[in-house]
Amino acid sequence: MALFSRKRTVHSMTIREKRDFHAFVGFTAPTFILLGIFILWPIFYSFYLSLFKWNMISPKKTFLGFQNYQDMFGDPVFWLVVKNTLLMAFFTVIVKMAISLYLATQLNKKVKGSSVYRAIIFSPTFTANVAIAMVWAWIFEPTFGLLRVVLKPLGFPMIDWIHSTSHSLPAVIIVLIWSGIGYDMVLFLAALKNISLEIYDAALVDGANTYQIFWRITFPLVSPTTFFLLITGFINVLKAFDIVRIMTEGGPLNSSNVVVHFLYQNAFQWFRTGYASALALILFVFIMFITLIQNRLSKRWVHY
């Protein structure tokens, strides 16, 4: 970086500086070229595309200016999709983290066979989402599905989750929570192992109860992990696609449609490449915004 801050051109460099500069360029070029081609260029290009009406097949692109953005903000389906995405992100992340933190604290005690439990709880993490979605679609099936078998004796009414405008989104959220618990739990467990036992001993000697120990010691000390999982979890759910695609196709009537799936439908099923690019850009800006906010807020309550 010092190379740039000194306002000197390459010509006036000493031989040694020149050599350093060439090494610098040589070492960073591969990364910069890859980033440029696969990340930066697509971002700029999709912004460019978002200003056009284009069906991806035609050689002709019609310039629209910001019409796609105007259409998007005026489209009730877009707002429904945004609402669904936010609801999904909020509930998935909060519930998933709460359950996994609870499980981690339980497994952190010296339970018999805890490694077996750990493996079982972690297993959804390395299962393909496609398989998860297909199995859960069967579990949710109202007449012969597994959930029915469990809920029926408890007196729950029969629900056709997948074909219901009110239950399709909760169904997707349940699956996302289930499939994400394992990963969060393992990270929480690692964080718990790092907390010195002496602190707990001291707390016990001082007569703290379990509730106090959790909220005063455990929770603050795992907060860096909580923060990390909050951001990555939130962003991952914003990008959720495969489970929605396979379980509900975003339906019925867009009741479980989310931004990335809606984007896919626009781009590849309905031939609206410009509109889809506009969606992609909005999602990009939104994710950046969320990350910034979370970074700000984190300073208040994360104890590194």
Partner 1 sequence: MKKKRVGVVLAIVMVLCLSTGLWAAGQVEQAKPEGPIKIIYWRSLTGVAGEAQEEIVKRFNASRSDIIVESQFQGAYAEILQKLQAGLAAGDVPDLVLLDSPHLQIFAKEGVLVNLDAFVAKEPKNFLQDYIPGLLADSYYSKNLYALPALRSTPLLYINEDMLAEAGLPRRAPATWDEFREYCKKLTKVNANGEPIQYGVGFTMGATTAHWYFQGAVYAFDGKISDENFGVHLTEAPAVAAAKLWQDMVFKDKSAVPSTSHDDLFNKKVAMVFGSTGSMGNVMNRATFKVLPAFIPGQVRNGVPVGGAVIAMPSTDKWRQWAAWEFMKFFTGTDSQAYLAEKTGYMPNSTSASKHPDLVKYYAANPHWKVAIDQLQFVQPQASVISLPKGTEILRQMVEKLLIANMDVNTVMAETKADLEKEYNENFK
Smallest gap from residue 91 Cβ to partner 1 (A): 23
Q: In the complex with partner 1, which residue's Cβ is closer, 121 or 247?
A: 247
Query: What gap in Å lies between CA 223 and CA 126, rounded to an integer?
Result: 25
Q: In the complex with partner 1, which residue's Cβ is closer, 85 or 256?
A: 256
Q: In the complex with partner 1, which residue's Cβ is closer, 116 or 253?
A: 253
Give the orientation angle of helix 223-238 with respect to helix 168-193, to 10 degrees.
Answer: 150
The two three-digit tokens of residue 281, written as one number: 């850009």
Smallest gap from residue 118 Cβ to partner 1 (A): 34
Query: What gap in Å lies between CA 52 and CA 240, rounded to an integer?
Result: 26
Smallest gap from residue 179 Cβ to partner 1 (A): 21
Query: What torsion do the CA atoms of 235, 130, 135, 252 make, to the nearest 10 degrees?
Result: 70
Q: In the complex with partner 1, which residue's Cβ is closer, 10 or 56?
A: 56
Q: In the complex with partner 1, which residue's Cβ is closer, 62 or 295?
A: 62
Smallest gap from residue 55 Cβ to partner 1 (A): 7
Contact set with partner 1 (CB under 8 A): 55-59, 137-138, 141, 143-144, 158, 160, 162-165, 249, 251-253, 265, 268-272
Long-range contacts from 122-128, C-beta under 8 angstroms, 24+ separation: 122/182, 122/183, 122/185, 122/186, 123/182, 124/178, 124/179, 124/180, 124/181, 124/182, 125/179, 125/180, 125/182, 125/183, 125/186, 127/179
